[in-house]
Structure 1
Amino acid sequence: MPPANGLPLRLSVHHTEYVPADGAVVDVVATVQGVEPENGNVRHDGLAEVILLDSSGSMGAPQAKMRAARQATAAAIDALPDGVAFAVVAGTANATMVYPGDRRLAVADESTRAAARNALRHVAPHGGTAIGTWLLLARRLLATRPDAIGHVILLTDGRNESQRPADLRAAVDGCVGRFTVDCRAIGSADGVHDWDAAELLGIAEALGANPVVPVEDLAGLADEFRAVLTRAMSRRVAGVRLRVRTTGLTRVRFVKQVHPAIADLTGRGEPAGELTTDYPVGAWSPHDQRDYHVALEVDAMAPGARRRVGWVSVHADADGEPVEAPITVEWTEDALRYSEINESVAHYTRQQDYAAAVQRGLTAARAGRAGEAEEHLGRAVALAHAAGRDDDVVLLARVVDVLDAAGGRVRLKPDVDARLTQSSLVVSHHTSRWGPQEPPAQRSAPAGPPAPWRHCDETQTGAYCEGCGAHHLAADRPGAGRP
């Protein structure tokens, strides 16, 4: 993959090669990796950071939360390299500038970092919580540096109680494509969380699809902020897009990010030409790797037909054509062939199943449907146990008694406090990366271009028919023409 704004991006695609002759869904896992460019210098004046610090009244109960939040914000400020544009905002029912005093971005250097740390001393908890107003102020501030890669750290301990849900959704939608967000959610050591998992997951999914991280150990909050800030400061390119191009044989069923967190990107697709859709995937650094699950519905074809049914590419706002990875399948009546599941697809499907089971189980528990809750949460426990996700089993044990982890036998605890379920909901969207082994190599086209050939009533000059995607070597097979 050629450099995009100074950052090369590498793309690999994994999928099952054979599909049933009567049609199927082809599951594709696309892995996008940043690559350290030869020139490793980072222009920090091309970065902008806003820290949204919840200072509502609940942050003072106990006061240790506010102290830890101020210390973590100070640690993030200290980690800002010289030249980065930044601001700190206190969030209540309104959004108020902490530093600088007026609604603008400061430029990080020794003196502005010291002034920002000093300004934090005057932040005291009071008032309500209206997260949408915080995000809109961040958008206004970052709009003053339109050429910079914008990033926001959002810290909260509560739900959006001072604003209508529709206003929060509108604010989030208004920030899409402007910046990415990392959400950190404070709870207590015993697992009680007053924030709303659905709210924070909605913000995270729309604004960069980064994991929402619950924080129960306040002593580790400063290190968490430093780590988030360090990753944000290594980003080299904004506006990266995953592009899916199909043929007349194929339709996109969904596009999801499946690592590092599950996020449905389907509804955020933007038309980019005939049978082509772009899915914004945020800003990238050389250290980033993200995996995407693309599901393609494929029409029926005669057994033995082999076609390219789509292409996946990744690119940014830069000159030059991106490198495409083709999706090629062969139709067959051999069940042993089409029943095989690619390892990477299976890995992420299991984790999506786990997230769905947690969501359904906790929804049923809140509705008082104990039997249904135990069925779904038992499945979640079994999946987590089989995957070695022992920490997830511990989180689920806050709401169920685990009788047999391997067998998925659980008993719902009586009078479950909904505040104990929030961390399980957001953590269920975190995923582990697919293992180190590479899948079998995809079957490739001949090295040289073929002589002109006829297909779909037109002269073809490439290896594949531009009309239907048929490979020139397979075009004469029975049933291999356009359906």
Structure 2
Amino acid sequence: MATFSAEVYQNEFLPDGGTDVHAIVTVTCSGAGEAGRSESGDAAEIVIVDTSGSMGDDKIRAVQHAAVAALDQVLDGVWCAVIAGSHEARLAFPTRSERGMVRMDARTRAEAKAAVATFRADGGTAMGTWLTLATRVFASVPGVAQKHAILLTDGINQHETPEQLSAAIETARGQFQCDCRGVGADWQVAEVRRIATALLGSVDLIARPEEMAADFEGIMRQSMSRGVADAALRVWAPQGAQVLFVRQVSPTVEDLTPRRQEVNALTGAYPTGAWSDEARDYHVAVRLPAKAVGQEQLASRVQVAVADTVVAQGLVKAMWSNDDTLTTRIDPAVAHYTGQAELAEAIQDGLAAKAAGDTDTATVKLGRAVQLAAETGNDEATSRLRKIVEIEDAGTGTVRLRRSVSKLDEMALDTASTKTTRVKK
């Protein structure tokens, strides 16, 4: 049986007239079990792969190997399907079933692999149709608690309007989680990130086709380790208070604020998706009406709820003081993750400015990113930034844009921008 715990890291002291309370809440899950084999109920998986003409023979062969690697990780008993995507979506497996999915066993695994072996590169790219079919296929098996997909593309969504893709994303939102991958350099990170963010998944670059199988295997193995189908972060704030934002800040930066679902007048729930044995950090910010020095107040009650049952809780507190040594201290965890969130934004803004030809803004933003990466100890981000800029002084963020930069290096920096380092607590 899965168990959750919640720990709060904050400076609870506010100066006279102070209103904003910041806290990092670390949520840890243990004993999660396996997908479809725990108290959460059945699980379902769909592998969605690009089979458009741009994939060509080499990438199609790599897709076939990758899909097989993913299918080998799907546990027996888990519902499964495979979608081949081009300018239209085709249910490649199963082809003979009253439902759009079948339970995985030795026979169906072999049939799925045989279906994958028939993939051919042809047609255009319309990812909205892929998501629409996946939503319908998942719905064909009522009562499944945990729904997850892998989506791979190598190109831009050219064969449907942006509005059609947006509508498909909104229809899929809340219906399943989706980890997205792009192979090569001809897809748009921002476009695929939209899908992954809305569907509580990750986005990453597969630079070379031969790396695809290992990536797919890892994604599916991780999904099968998520024995808790869904959990929500519930944030209560007192009457008159305002929840400024709720962000996941580790292992990646994700703004959960727009996902708020009202529980009652004072409590909002923020979906976090399925869980394995892991820890995630959340940054919660609440604005309170100022109180007199010496007064204290509960600023927020942060709870973890699974199937409407509260399984863990942390308390965020506020106390007003005129002691500067108390009120000016910034909690190390809050400082660390504030920097990491700003780092992700600076990288994405800098790359967008560079793509638009605004070298001055790009230099300033990427210089700030270098400075933040150094301050927060994000060595991976620093290493990736070095491929885009020449660092003269990391401490001040003094950089120069490199004249010749690989597009793959830019995409690798962009996709990794939201990955964070854990704070040492």
By how many angstroms is 1:323 displaced?
4.1
* Contact preservation (8 Å) 1:30, 1:293: yes
| 2:397 maps to 1:408 | yes
Which structure features the higher share of helix residues?
Answer: 2
Aligned to 1:453: none
The CA distance in 2 between the partners of 1:41 and 1:195, in whole Å, is 33
* Contact preservation (8 Å) 1:42, 1:234: no
The CA distance in 1 between the partners of 2:409 and 2:120, in whole Å, is 27
Q: Helix, strand or coil for the counterpart of 2:8?
A: strand
By how many angstroms is 1:406 displaced?
4.3
Q: Helix, strand or coil for the counterpart of 2:264?
A: coil
Amino acid at match of 1:301: K
The CA distance in 2 between the partners of 1:59 and 1:108, in whole Å, is 28
Amino acid at match of 2:128: G
Amino acid at match of 1:233: M
* Contact preservation (8 Å) 1:49, 1:85: yes
Aligned to 1:46: 42
By how many angstroms is 1:73 displaced?
0.7
* Contact preservation (8 Å) 2:154, 2:186: yes
Aligned to 1:163: 160
After TM superposition, the structure 1 = structure 2 runs for residues 232-311 of structure 1, keeping only pairs within 5 Å, are 232-285=223-276, 287-311=277-301
After TM superposition, the structure 1 = structure 2 runs for residues 33-112 of structure 1, keeping only pairs within 5 Å, are 33-36=28-31, 42-43=37-38, 46-60=42-56, 63-101=57-95, 104-112=100-108
Taking a change above 3 Å as real, the CA distance of residues 151 and 38 of structure 1, as seen in their structure-2 partners, is closer
* Cα-Cα RMSD: 2.3
Taking a change above 3 Å as real, the CA distance of residues 29 and 390 of structure 1, as seen in their structure-2 partners, is closer
By how many angstroms is 1:420 displaced?
5.1
* Contact preservation (8 Å) 2:73, 2:224: no
The CA distance in 2 between the partners of 1:370 and 1:41, in whole Å, is 50
Taking a change above 3 Å as real, the CA distance of residues 316 and 38 of structure 1, as seen in their structure-2 partners, is closer
Taking a change above 3 Å as real, the CA distance of residues 278 and 39 of structure 1, as seen in their structure-2 partners, is closer
Taking a change above 3 Å as real, the CA distance of residues 389 and 65 of structure 1, as seen in their structure-2 partners, is farther
By how many angstroms is 1:146 displaced?
3.0
Amino acid at match of 1:119: A
Identity of aligned residues (%): 37
Aligned to 1:175: 172
By how many angstroms is 1:387 displaced?
4.1
The CA distance in 1 between the partners of 2:161 and 2:28, in whole Å, is 38
By how many angstroms is 1:306 displaced?
0.9
* Contact preservation (8 Å) 1:249, 1:309: no
The CA distance in 2 between the partners of 1:206 and 1:58, in whole Å, is 26
Unpaired runs of 5+ residues, structure 2, are none
After TM superposition, the structure 1 = structure 2 runs for residues 444-483 of structure 1, keeping only pairs within 5 Å, are none
The CA distance in 2 between the partners of 1:214 and 1:234, in whole Å, is 23
* Contact preservation (8 Å) 1:45, 1:84: no
Taking a change above 3 Å as real, the CA distance of residues 75 and 171 of structure 1, as seen in their structure-2 partners, is same
Q: Helix, strand or coil for the counterpart of 2:45?
A: strand
By how many angstroms is 1:232 displaced?
0.9
* Contact preservation (8 Å) 1:195, 1:422: no
Structure 1 length normalisation: TM-score? Answer: 0.82
By how many angstroms is 1:65 displaced?
2.2
| 2:346 maps to 1:349 | no
By how many angstroms is 1:379 displaced?
1.5
By how many angstroms is 1:415 displaced?
7.7
The CA distance in 2 between the partners of 1:391 and 1:115, in whole Å, is 41
Aligned to 1:481: none
Taking a change above 3 Å as real, the CA distance of residues 330 and 214 of structure 1, as seen in their structure-2 partners, is same
* Contact preservation (8 Å) 2:36, 2:42: no
By how many angstroms is 1:35 displaced?
1.5
The CA distance in 1 between the partners of 2:361 and 2:170, in whole Å, is 34
Aligned to 1:205: 197
Q: Helix, strand or coil for the counterpart of 2:314?
A: strand
2:118 pairs, out of 115, 119, 122, with 122
Unpaired runs of 5+ residues, structure 1, are 1-5, 188-192, 438-483
Aligned to 1:20: 15
Amino acid at match of 1:312: V
1:196-251 deviations in Å (ceiling 9; x for gaps) = 1112222222112x331211243332222122111111222333111111112421
Structure 2 length normalisation: TM-score? Answer: 0.92
Moved more, 393-402 or 37-46: 37-46
After TM superposition, the structure 1 = structure 2 runs for residues 380-395 of structure 1, keeping only pairs within 5 Å, are 380-395=369-384
The CA distance in 1 between the partners of 2:343 and 2:89, in whole Å, is 37
The CA distance in 2 between the partners of 1:217 and 1:415, in whole Å, is 20
By how many angstroms is 1:405 displaced?
3.8
| 2:312 maps to 1:315 | no
By how many angstroms is 1:159 displaced?
2.1
By how many angstroms is 1:87 displaced?
0.6
Number of equivalenced pairs: 421
Aligned to 1:139: 135
| 2:348 maps to 1:359 | yes
Amino acid at match of 1:82: D
2:362 pairs, out of 353, 366, 373, with 373
By how many angstroms is 1:41 displaced?
9.4
Moved more, 217-226 or 12-21: 217-226
By how many angstroms is 1:401 displaced?
3.0
The CA distance in 2 between the partners of 1:415 and 1:404, in whole Å, is 20
